[in-house]
């Protein structure tokens, strides 16, 4: 019995693998974007070939790495160019503005979890500096879109065991919360106030924090519409469902996907399966995409306003990714409701050209 069952599993796994492989080798007309994240892949152009020859039609790079020459080079290759924009993780800002430091439940500066430094989301000077930089990137470069990155609270979540302290209980955040939600708070030490906000006022507090982060997205959208209308607004965001880690997406990270989606064109989940504890289970990628599609009613059909383009992990980070897994990762990354995909990340992959070859082979195979 045991042997028979085991044998059946082997047979089933093998046939699933063959089916996945066959599917991976056929065009996927619903996939609009076959991208690379992390800069211009110059190594692929050295022998005179083009990005199109490699099946690549989009490149993402940090907004600080944009240059007119790079944008022109990528466009001449027929690729779309997208910028990544750091919203809540410009740690250097705190050097001259310590009052933008996130405050913990004890009323003191909250140490950076795993070294990941966030910023108080209600600091007006920080917000203005980010909005100005966002406008500048859109004004200066002929980009096809810009993606928000690190748009979440002071927390280190890009790991198998996330570290997500409760913040920000600075007087500015607490006063704004009390005023905007008409919540009466007693006088008392910061620890007592934090206890109330996380206790009897938790529901109001969580929604208010989410609304603060959503309002940033609203303003980014308004700036994009004024500065480069037609460019796409995307976001790189946590791939968890609303129940993963006890609802931490909203409760801890302050991400209200339904509310933010009103201002976004593209949601780029970050299902880094190997980094996040799913190294042997690339199907986790498509499960998370399927959840998001259901949550936001995105089916992956042409003409839909909202799109899902996951950024999937091929570079080694946390756990290494064998070349033999590249097909499976891209297969799960390109399943509906996803209509685009990009790989993380070029600076790691450029040292592992065997994986790059597997990736470009897959990209060429799924081209419509
Ligand atoms: Zn604050």
pLDDT digits (tens, 9 = 90+) for 314-362: 999 989 999 999 999 999 999 999 999 999 999 999 999 999 999 999 9
Give a yes or no: residue 246 inside a domain. Answer: yes
Q: How much of the chain, in percent, has pLDDT values that exceed 90? A: 92
Whole-prediction pTM value?
A: 0.93
Q: What is the pLDDT of residue 23?
A: 54
Give a yes or no: residue 3 inside a domain. Answer: no
Beta carbons within 8 Å of 358's beta carbon, 6+ residues apart: 323, 326, 327
**Is 90 exceeded by the pLDDT of residue 25?**
no
**Is 80 exceeded by the pLDDT of residue 21?**
no
Find the 241 Cα to ligand 1 centroid distance in Å. 26
Number of domains in the chain: 1
**Is 60 exceeded by the pLDDT of residue 7?**
no
Distance linking the first and last C-alpha atoms of the chain: 46
Find the 203 Cα to ligand 1 centroid distance in Å. 18
Beta carbons within 8 Å of 314's beta carbon, 6+ residues apart: 321, 326, 329, 343, 344, 348, 349, 355, 359
Find the 167 Cα to ligand 1 centroid distance in Å. 7
Closest CA to 86 of 70, 101, 66: 66
Find the 237 Cα to ligand 1 centroid distance in Å. 21
Find the 89 Cα to ligand 1 centroid distance in Å. 14
Find the 202 Cα to ligand 1 centroid distance in Å. 16
Give a yes or no: residue 182 inside a domain. Answer: yes
Q: What is the pLDDT of residue 9?
A: 45
Using an 8 Å Cβ cutoff, are 111 and 59 in contact? no
Q: What is the pLDDT of residue 318?
A: 86
Find the 160 Cα to ligand 1 centroid distance in Å. 27
Find the 168 Cα to ligand 1 centroid distance in Å. 5
Find the 182 Cα to ligand 1 centroid distance in Å. 18
**Least confident interval from 11-15, 185-189, 274-278, 299-303:** 11-15
Crossing angle of the two packed helices 2-24 and 353-366, in degrees rounded to 10: 70
Give a yes or no: residue 296 inside a domain. Answer: yes
Find the 267 Cα to ligand 1 centroid distance in Å. 27
Q: What is the pLDDT of residue 6?
A: 43
**Is 80 exceeded by the pLDDT of residue 125?**
yes
Give a yes or no: residue 9 inside a domain. Answer: no
Closest CA to 177 of 126, 212, 145, 150: 212
Q: What is the pLDDT of residue 27?
A: 87
Give a yes or no: residue 15 inside a domain. Answer: no
Domain extent at residue 311 = 30-366
Find the 131 Cα to ligand 1 centroid distance in Å. 18
Find the 123 Cα to ligand 1 centroid distance in Å. 7
Find the 40 Cα to ligand 1 centroid distance in Å. 37
Find the 169 Cα to ligand 1 centroid distance in Å. 6
Q: Region 241-245: what's the mean pLDDT?
A: 97
**Half-sphere exposure of 146 toward its Cβ, with a 13 Å CA cutoff?**
33
Q: What is the pLDDT of residue 24?
A: 57
Find the 102 Cα to ligand 1 centroid distance in Å. 6
**Is 50 exceeded by the pLDDT of residue 262?**
yes
Kindly report the average pLDDT of the chain as a whole number: 94
d(CA 1, CA 143): 60
Residue 342, domain CATH: 3.20.20.80
Give a yes or no: residue 162 inside a domain. Answer: yes
Q: What is the pLDDT of residues 297-314, one digit of tens each?
A: 999 999 999 999 999 999
Give a yes or no: residue 17 inside a domain. Answer: no
Find the 83 Cα to ligand 1 centroid distance in Å. 28
């Amino acid at each position: 019995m045991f042997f028979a069952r085991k044998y059946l599993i082997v047979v089933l796994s093998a046939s699933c693998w063959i089916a996945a492989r066959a599917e991976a080798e056929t065009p996927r007309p619903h996939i609009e974007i076959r991208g690379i994240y992390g800069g211009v892949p110059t190594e692929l152009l050295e022998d005179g070939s083009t990005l199109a020859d490699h099946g690549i039609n989009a490149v993402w790079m940090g907004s600080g790495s944009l240059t007119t020459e790079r944008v022109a080079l990528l466009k001449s290759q027929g690729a779309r160019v997208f910028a990544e924009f750091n919203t809540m993780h410009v740690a250097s800002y705190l050097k001259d503005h310590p009052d933008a430091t996130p405050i913990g439940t004890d009323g003191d500066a909250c140490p950076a979890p795993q070294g990941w430094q966030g910023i108080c989301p209600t600091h007006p000077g920080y917000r203005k500096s980010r909005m100005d930089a966002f406008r500048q990137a859109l004004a200066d470069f002929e980009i096809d879109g810009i993606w928000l990155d690190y748009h979440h609270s002071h927390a280190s979540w890009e790991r198998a065991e996330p570290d997500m302290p409760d913040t920000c209980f600075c007087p500015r955040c607490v006063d704004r919360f009390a005023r905007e939600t008409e919540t009466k708070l007693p006088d008392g030490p910061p620890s007592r106030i934090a206890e109330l906000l996380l206790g009897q006022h938790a529901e109001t507090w969580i929604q208010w924090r989410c609304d603060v982060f959503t309002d940033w997205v609203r303003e980014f959208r308004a700036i994009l519409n004024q500065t480069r209308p037609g460019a796409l607004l995307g976001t790189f965001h946590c791939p968890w469902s609303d129940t993963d880690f006890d609802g931490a997406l909203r409760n801890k990270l302050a991400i209200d996907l339904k509310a933010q989606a009103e201002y976004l064109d593209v949601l780029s989940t970050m299902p880094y399966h190997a980094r996040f504890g799913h190294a042997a289970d690339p199907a986790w990628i498509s499960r998370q995409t399927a959840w998001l599609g259901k949550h936001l009613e995105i089916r992956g059909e042409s003409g839909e306003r909202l799109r899902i383009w996951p950024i999937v992990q091929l570079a080694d980070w946390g756990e290494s990714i064998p070349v033999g897994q590249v097909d499976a990762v891209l297969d799960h990354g390109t399943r509906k409701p996803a209509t685009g995909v990009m790989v993380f990340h070029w600076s790691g992959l450029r040292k592992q050209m065997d994986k790059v070859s597997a990736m470009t082979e897959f990209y060429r195979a799924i081209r419509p």
